[in-house]
Structure 1
């Protein structure tokens, strides 16, 4: 549990390091027309964190609450991610994590077994929700590395 919470704590720093020194051209490069740029990935990660923080709070505060999924592509398209500020969204991500961390760190073991129910995926414990948050950042860090590599290859 300690290791999981530490990785959760350092999610912002990992994202910041992965995007350090990138030019605007690199941030907005899309490896394919239907793939996201690093700029869009950062905004998505913040939006996902916003929704997930609310889910974790519901699980901690309500009995078996209904948890809703969201359509990430609809958000990216409808909210016009291209014209949003990715740095501002990274700060939002940092604030969400830093506001949730003290709550998570003081939980007794039985709270980690509290459950929320996704209409489309069934029950998830608080622990599973936290594991997903950590995995989500890992997955997008790998995606950022792939986009960076594709950008470098496009310049050869």
Structure 2
């Protein structure tokens, strides 16, 4: 888990610098009508943190396998209106939520990392896998959508 903690800490520190080096047009532009802007992607990462904080906590005490409830990602982004919110608010939210994710991970007893959760279609994974997947999901969006330069 140390690597996951270090990587999340890395993004807590570096992502604000990356965003602050971009123009308002670059962070607000939607590549197409049905694609999120870089601002909305950051909001989506906040939503992911909110949902996973709940999962990381509940898996530790709920009956196993804990059943992961999905959420409507598109609606979360729309309803919270990340597109029209000030960037610094979304960045602060990202940092605060991910500091909480780290706090939870640090405090998980090793034996609980093997606790099971049902991720859908009766596929069972461990809490440790879910935490790793959280980081992979975050880095997918950061590396493939946020950090790439738009050529428009």
- Range of TM-score over shorter length: 0.7 to 0.9
CA-atom RMSD in angstroms: 2.0
1:78, 1:114 → 2: CA distance? 33
TM-score for both structures, normalised by structure 2: 0.85
- Residue segments in structure 2 that go unaligned for 5+ positions in a row: none
The change in CA–CA distance for 1:85 and 1:129 in structure 2 (over 3 A counts) is farther
User: Could you tell which deviates more after superposition, 6-15 or 137-146?
Assistant: 6-15
* Larger RCO of the pair (alpha carbons < 8 Å, separation 6+): 1
Matches within 5 A, 1:141-152: 141-142=142-143, 143-146=145-148, 149-150=149-150
Aligned CA distance change for structure 1 residues 122 and 14 (closer, same or farther; 3 Å)? farther
Q: Aligned partners of 2:104, 2:80: CA distance in 1, in Å?
A: 30
Q: What corresponds to 1:59 in structure 2?
A: 59
**Equivalent position of 2:116 in the other structure:** 115
Q: Which one has the bigger helix percentage?
A: 1
The list of structure 1 runs, each at least 4 consecutive aligned residues, that deviate by more than 4 angstroms after superposition, is none
Aligned to 2:103: 102
Q: Flag the 1:103–1:69 CA change in 2: closer, same or farther, 3 A.
A: same
Separation in 1, partners of 2:87, 2:61: 31
Q: 1:86 & 1:130 partners in 2: Cα distance?
A: 26
**CA 1:121–1:23: 2 relative to 1, 3 Å:** farther
Q: Deviations over 1:87-127 (max 9, x none)?
A: 22222222222223233224332111112223456322111
3-state SS of paired residue (2:71)? coil
Q: State the secondary structure of the residue aligned to 1:61.
A: coil
Partner of 1:87: 88
